[in-house]
Every structure is written in C-alpha cells, then in structure tokens.
C-alpha cells in the first residue's frame, strides 16, 4: 500500500467513507474556485467535529501532504482551491462546511465562531439580541463563512468597522521541524492538550473571566480614523496590509483556524441606502473625500459599482435574486453545490458541448430580456465590488 493509500484509509476511518471524496465528480465543487483557482486534489475530506479536524491535520502532516483549508469557497483570491496540478506532494482539501457553531458570550457583546459558521447564520443568531456581526452579508459573496473572512481580511466595503480582523483565535500551526502545535490565543482557559481544548470548547465548558484576557484586539478599531486621513500619501486599504496580519487574521490558509473570538455591534435601527451615479470619476472622488472628511458619523458601508457590473447582473443574476428573495441567503451555498454536481453530470452527456449550451442559453436570454429600470432594481443591492 502506498503512503497516499494509507493516508486515505486513515482519513476514511476517521470521518467515514461518505465524507471522504476521491471521485473526480464528487470533488468538482471543491476543486474549482468561485472566481479564480482550479486544480487537482487527491481527496476532499469533510470533518464533523473540531477534534476530527485536528486528527486530519495529524494524519496529513504525518504523510507530508499539503492541506488546503476551504470554508464556503467564495473567496476571491483562489486561496481555498488548488491552483493547477504541478504540486510536489499530494493535496488534500479540508472542507469546514460541517463544522458549524456560534457561541454567544459576554451578554451578546462577543461571539466565538467555528470554521463552518456563516455570516448569515451569525446575523440570524444576533438579530434577536439587537446586535449584528462585523459584516452583514448583502454583497458579492453570499454564504461566506466568518472564519474565511478573517483569513482573508475581507470586508473591503465596511467603513466604520474595517477589515475582518481579530487577534484572539484558536489555531494550529506547523513548525519547520514538522511539529504540529495548537495555539490558544482566545483569552479563555481551555486546558493544556489540543484534545482537551477542543472538547471543552465544543461543549462550551469554560468561563470567559477564568484567565486574564489574551491582550489583543478583536476588531480593526483604528480603521475609520485612518480612512478619515484623506491627505495621507499612503493607501488606506490594500491586501496584505501588515497592520491586519496577525496569526489567524489574514493568514489565508497558512495556519488552520479552529475558532475566532469577535465583537458584535449594536444593530442599526434605521439605515438608508443611496445610489449615486456619475460618468465622471472625479466627482465620485470628490464626494468620497467630502464624506470622509466632513460627515460627523461615517456611512456604514460604501461600494463602487461599475456600469459593466450592472449589465452583468441584469444578464446573469436574476435567478440569484429570486433564490435569495424566496429562499434566503442561507440557501445559496447548498444550491451552488447542487449546481456544480449537475454541471458535472451534464458534461458527461455524449452530445454535450459547452459552447452549444451557452449559445442556446444566450439566445433564450436575448428572447426573454426584460428592460429593467436599474436604478430602482433590488438586484443592485446585493452587488459588492471589491
Ligand atoms: C481584501 C478582501 C476584501 C473583501 N471584501 C469583501 C466585501 O467587502 N464583501 C464581500 O462579500 N466579500 C469580500 N471579500 C471576499 C470574501 O473575503 C470572501 O467571500 C470570504 O471571506 C470567503 O469566505 P469563505 O467562507 O468562502 O472562505 P473560502 O473562500 O473557502 O476561504 C478563504 C480563505 O480562508 C482560508 N480558510 C478558510 N477557512 C479556514 C480555516 N478554518 N483555517 C484556515 N484557513 C481557512 C482558505 O484557505 C482561503 O485562503 C473580500 C476579499 C478580500 C481578499
């Protein structure tokens, strides 16, 4: 038996054969990114508990396999999928989608989120408490996970709250000498061994005041003031900003995150959305400067949406709008996964040729095109250009 077969057997024994995907069709959804990234993986493994996630890491590290962490696979960086097929070792994708869990602590002022918890779930849990999460989804990436956002420093449109960021997390890292280490920087005493930590965390068997808090921020509380400095000659928002890279935050898959500790925010009772259009970008630049420098309370969120994005939305996203309206954003990841499986099945049909189907689809769209009045279309609300 080769070492890859041995690893697969161990992984299958751990999570059950149903949750170890090795067939090309079954892996298809996980090996192709939402926007970028596509490649091959030996297997996709879908753990159900944090302890299984830890054991998967142990197995993969012992076999010297590459571990690619994947949450909802909506990331725009290609970080959660393989890129090509020329890796020098086996690639195992670990999907966190079954690792659900949000624990509300500190009278609703903070939460601990597990790897599979989505922003929509967090939003729904906090709504009855009059609180909301850092990111209220309503943008390009419906179904995204809380931890995926932390790993990506996402939230480019959030003005008051800045990029998704925390210095308090529970994560595993691999040392150069091959030693796998669990690091508890949640600011909560969970015991000494990884197994004990994960068991106590999952059972919520801890008190937050037990141990002096791990001195660390739980959000980018300095971000708004940086934005206000419109005269600065440095950019205020860019990927890989060192100010927001800390252990799990901005790690983009370089460590494995088991849980993050985050603040919640008072829900805004009344919000209004304004659409401002211009053909002259200088007008928008001036407007942005004015808003940042002169408004006493900053807007919650702002997006630039190019005309092309409106056109694309009208052409391709009506079904998405209907699905979100009728089923809610939480249904999206499941629907997308089903679509991916359907796409694979259809691609096996003997008479299938992608271009033929695309041409048919486009003709149908052209026939049925309805002229929407874009400015008042609710489609636009869900667009977020990063
Ligand atoms: C700079 C930036 C700004 C963005 N701003 C916005 C925005 O304003 N609005 C919006 O809707 N979207 C935004 N996005 C996109 C958003 O980041 C992604 O849609 C979302 O964060 C991905 O979540 P996901 O659950 O799909 O994670 P995935 O796409 O599955 O994973 C994202 C990354 O996190 C890693 N990862 C996931 N889980 C774990 C884990 N448990 N341990 C270790 N690594 C893990 C993956 O390896 C990958 O590198 C932004 C992205 C970037 C890079």
Least confident of 22-26, 102-106, 139-143, 331-335: 139-143
Highest-scoring range by mean pLDDT, 5-9, 278-282, 323-327, 328-332: 5-9
Pocket flag, ligand 1, residue 75 (CB < 6 Å): yes
Pocket flag, ligand 1, residue 57 (CB < 6 Å): no
34, 142, 144: residue to mutate for ligand 1 pocket, most atoms within 8 A of CB: 144
**Which residue's alpha carbon is at the smallest distance from atom 47 of ligand 1?**
253
Distance, in Å, from the CA atom of 383 to the CA atom of 173, rounded to the nearest integer, reads 35
Ligand 1 atom with the shortest distance to the CA of 252:
49
Ligand 1 atom with the shortest distance to the CA of 33:
29
115, 151, 334: residue to mutate for ligand 1 pocket, most atoms within 8 A of CB: 151
Average pLDDT score over residue span 5-32? 94
CA of 72 to the centre of ligand 1 (A): 8
Distance, in Å, from the CA atom of 174 to the CA atom of 184, rounded to the nearest integer, reads 14
Average pLDDT score over residue span 242-260? 95
pLDDT over 50 (residue 200): yes
Q: Give the pLDDT score at 57.
A: 98
Pocket flag, ligand 1, residue 329 (CB < 6 Å): no
CA of 113 to the centre of ligand 1 (A): 15
Q: Give the pLDDT score at 210.
A: 55
Pocket flag, ligand 1, residue 151 (CB < 6 Å): yes
Pocket flag, ligand 1, residue 144 (CB < 6 Å): yes
Pocket flag, ligand 1, residue 81 (CB < 6 Å): no
Pocket flag, ligand 1, residue 80 (CB < 6 Å): yes
Ligand 1 atom with the shortest distance to the CA of 77:
53
Distance, in Å, from the CA atom of 198 to the CA atom of 95, rounded to the nearest integer, reads 18
Average pLDDT score over residue span 321-325? 85
Q: Give the pLDDT score at 358.
A: 62
Percentage of the residues of the chain whose pLDDT score is greater than 90: 54
Confidence of residue 141 (pLDDT cuts 50, 70, 90): low
Q: Give the pLDDT score at 367.
A: 56
CA of 115 to the centre of ligand 1 (A): 12
Q: Give the pLDDT score at 360.
A: 64
**Which residue's alpha carbon is at the smallest distance from atom 29 of ligand 1?**
75
Pocket flag, ligand 1, residue 141 (CB < 6 Å): yes
Average pLDDT, the chain: 86
CA of 154 to the centre of ligand 1 (A): 6
Q: Give the pLDDT score at 375.
A: 36
pLDDT over 70 (residue 335): yes
Q: Give the pLDDT score at 381.
A: 34
pLDDT over 90 (residue 136): no
Ligand 1 atom with the shortest distance to the CA of 255:
43
Pocket flag, ligand 1, residue 333 (CB < 6 Å): no
Crossing angle of the two packed helices 318-327 and 332-347, in degrees rounded to 10: 130
Q: What is the pTM of this model?
A: 0.87
Q: Give the pLDDT score at 374.
A: 38
Confidence of residue 368 (pLDDT cuts 50, 70, 90): low
Pocket flag, ligand 1, residue 301 (CB < 6 Å): no
Pocket flag, ligand 1, residue 250 (CB < 6 Å): no
Model pLDDT for residues 35-58, shown as the tens digit of each residue: 788 899 999 999 999 999 999 999
Q: Give the pLDDT score at 379.
A: 36
pLDDT over 60 (residue 366): no
CA of 3 to the centre of ligand 1 (A): 32
């Amino acid at each position: 038996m080769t070492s890859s077969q041995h690893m697969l057997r161990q992984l299958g024994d751990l999570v059950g054969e149903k949750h170890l995907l090795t067939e090309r069709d079954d892996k298809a959804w996980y090996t192709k990114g939402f926007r970028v990234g596509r490649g091959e993986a030996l297997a996709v493994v879908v753990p159900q508990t944090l302890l299984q996630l830890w054991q998967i890491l142990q197995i993969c590290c012992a076999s010297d396999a590459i571990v690619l962490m994947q949450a909802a696979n909506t990331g725009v960086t290609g970080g959660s999928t393989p890129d090509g097929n020329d890796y020098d070792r086996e690639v195992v994708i670990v999907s966190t989608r079954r690792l659900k869990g949000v624990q509300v602590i500190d009278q609703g002022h903070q939460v601990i989120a597990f790897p599979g918890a989505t922003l929509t779930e967090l939003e729904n849990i906090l709504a009855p408490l009059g609180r909301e999460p850092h990111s209220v989804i309503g943008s390009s990436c419906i179904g995204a996970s809380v931890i995926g956002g932390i790993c990506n420093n996402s939230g480019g449109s959030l003005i008051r709250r800045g990029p998704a960021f925390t210095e308090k997390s529970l994560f595993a890292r691999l040392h150069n000498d091959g030693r796998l280490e669990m690091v508890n920087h949640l600011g909560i005493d969970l015991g000494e061994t990884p197994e004990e930590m994960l068991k106590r965390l999952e059972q919520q068997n801890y008190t937050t005041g037990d141990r002096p808090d791990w001195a660390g921020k739980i959000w980018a509380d300095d971000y708004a003031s940086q934005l206000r400095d419109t005269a600065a000659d440095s950019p205020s928002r860019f990927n890989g900003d060192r100010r927001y890279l800390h252990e799990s935050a901005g790690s983009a898959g370089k460590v494995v995150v088991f849980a993050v500790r985050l603040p919640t925010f008072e829900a805004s009772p009344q919000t209004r959305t304004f659409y401002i259009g211009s053909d002259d970008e200088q007008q928008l630049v001036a407007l942005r400067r004015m808003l940042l420098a002169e408004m006493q309370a900053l807007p919650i969120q702002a997006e630039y949406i190019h005309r092309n994005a409106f056109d694309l939305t009208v052409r391709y996203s009506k079904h998405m709008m209907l699905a979100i309206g009728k089923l809610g954003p939480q249904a999206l990841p499941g629907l997308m996964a089903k679509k991916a499986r359907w796409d694979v099945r259809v691609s096996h049909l003997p008479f299938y040729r992608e271009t033929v189907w695309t041409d048919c689809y486009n003709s149908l769209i052209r026939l049925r095109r309805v002229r929407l009045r874009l400015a008042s279309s609710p489609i636009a609300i869900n667009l977020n250009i990063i």
